[in-house]
Amino acid sequence: MEDLKRLEEFQAKIDAGEKIEPKDWMPDAYRKNLIRMMSQHAHSEIVGMLPEGNWIQRAPSLRRKLIATAKVQDEAGHGLYLYSAAETLGASREELLEALHNGKAKYSSIFNYPTLTWADMGAVGWLVDGAAMVNQVSLIGTSYGPYSRAMVRICREEAFHNRQGYEIIAELCNGTEEQKEMAQDALNRWWWPSIMMFGPSDADSPHSEQALKWGIKAEGNDSLRQKFITMTVPQAHARGLTIPDPDLKYNEETKQWEFGEVDWDEFFNVIKGNGIMNRKRLKDRNAAHDNGKWVRDAAAAYALKKKTKVA
C-alpha cells in the first residue's frame, strides 16, 4: 500500500518534468533500467575507443592525429562520467566492468564493425557520433538528474566529434578519385549499422514502453531514427555521396526522407555476438583489464601502506 502511494508520487514527479536525484525514492525496476542503460552507454564509450584507437597511429597528418587522439581521449572521459553517474545508483565500476568483460552486459553494437580505412574515421565521427548525438540530445530530457547532466556535457563534445568526422569526409570528397571512393565505401559500410544504432522499432523493443513512461527515455527509437536520417541525407548529398538505400525517397508532405527495409536479422546477430569484431573487442578489453591487474594491485597496496603509516 505504502509502495503504491510512493509509486504514484514518483510518477507524478516525472510527469511534472522534475528530475529524480540519487537520494530520492525510486522503484527498483527504474533503478535497474537506468543502471542497464547508463552502463551500456559507458561500456560503449570505452569499447568505442578501440576501433578509433586503431587509426591514431596511422592518421595521415599531424593535425588529424591531434584531433583523433583528443577525440579518443574524450571518449575515455565520457566513460568515466557515465560510470560515476551509474555509481550514484549503487552500481560500482568494478561490477559493471566485470559484466562487460564476461559478456553479460551489452555495448553499442556499432563497435563490432571494423574500421578498415581512414575514411572510416570520418564515417564514425559523422554517422556514429551523429546518431549517438541525436539519441543523447534527447536523453538530456531523461528523468534521472545525474544522467541528464552528464548528457549535457557529453553532447557538447559529441557535436564537435560529429563536425570533425564530417570534415574528414568532406576533405576526402574534395580530394583524388581514390579518396572519393574511400569516402563512398565508408558510407556504404556504416550507413545501415548507424541506422540500427537506435535499436529495433518501438513495437519490438522490450524496454521501450516502460522507459518512456518513467521518462528514462524521452523519445522512441523510431522517431529518433527518422530525425537522424532526415538530418544526414542532405549532408551526404552535399558532398556528392550516395546513400546506399535504393528505396530512399523524400516525402514532400511530411518533409521526411523515407527509407528502405532494415536488416534486423543482422542487428540481432551482431547483438548476440556474431559480429565480425565482437570477439576481438571483448578480448582486447579483457586483456587490458587482466594485464593491468598487477598495476591496480600495486596502487591499492601502496595506498594501504600509506594509510597504515599515518595511523
Partner 1 sequence: MYTDEIKEAQKEYLLRLADDRMILSQRLSELCGHGPILEEDIALTNISLDLLGQAKLYYEKVAELSDEEVTADDWVFFRDEREYWNVLLVELDNEDFAHTIVKQLIFDVFEILLYGEMINSKDADLKAIAEKSIKETKYHLRHSHEWMLRLGGGTEESNRRLRDAIEFLWQYTGELFYTDEVDDILVGAGIAPDVSKFRDEYYKTLNKILVESELEEMDPNVWMQSGGRDGRHTEYMGHILATMQYLPRSMPDAQW
Q: Which residues bind partner 1 (CB under 8 A)?
A: 46, 49-50, 53, 56-62, 64-66, 69-70, 72-73, 76-77, 79-80, 83, 93, 118, 171, 174-176, 178-179, 284, 287-289, 291-302, 305
Residues with Cβ within 8 Å of residue 290, at least 6 apart in sequence: none
What is the 3-state composition of the chain as percent helix, strand, coil, each rounded to the nearest 5? 70, 5, 25
As measured in angstroms, the least distance from the Cβ of 97 to partner 1 is 9
Nearer to partner 1 by Cβ, of 29 and 76: the residue is 76
Please report how close the Cβ of residue 89 comes to partner 1 at its closest, in angstroms: 18
- Nearest-angstrom CA–CA distance, 222 and 16: 25
Grid cell digits, residue 59 = 592518421
Helix axes of 28-56 and 62-87: crossing angle, nearest 10 degrees? 160
For partner 1, which is the closer residue by CB, 28 or 57?
Answer: 57
Closest CB to partner 1 among 137 and 241?
A: 241
Q: Is 69 left (phi over 0), alpha (psi -120 to 50) or beta?
A: alpha
Select 113 or 257, whichever has its Cβ closest to partner 1.
113
Residue 246: is it exposed, middle or buried by C-beta count within 10 angstroms (0-12/13-18/19+)?
exposed
Pick 46 or 270: Cβ nearer partner 1: 46
Min separation Cβ 94 and partner 1, Å: 11
Q: Closest separation between CB of residue 124 and partner 1, Å?
A: 14
Of 15 and 98, the one with the shorter C-beta distance to partner 1 is: 98
Q: Taking a C-beta distance cutoff of 8 angstroms, is the pair 139, 148 a contact?
A: yes
Query: At its nearest, how many Å lie between partner 1 and the CB of residue 21?
Result: 25
Q: How far apart are alpha carbons 49 and 74 in whole angstroms? A: 9
User: Cα separation of 307 and 257, whole Å?
Assistant: 62
State in angstroms the smallest separation of the CB of 231 from partner 1: 26
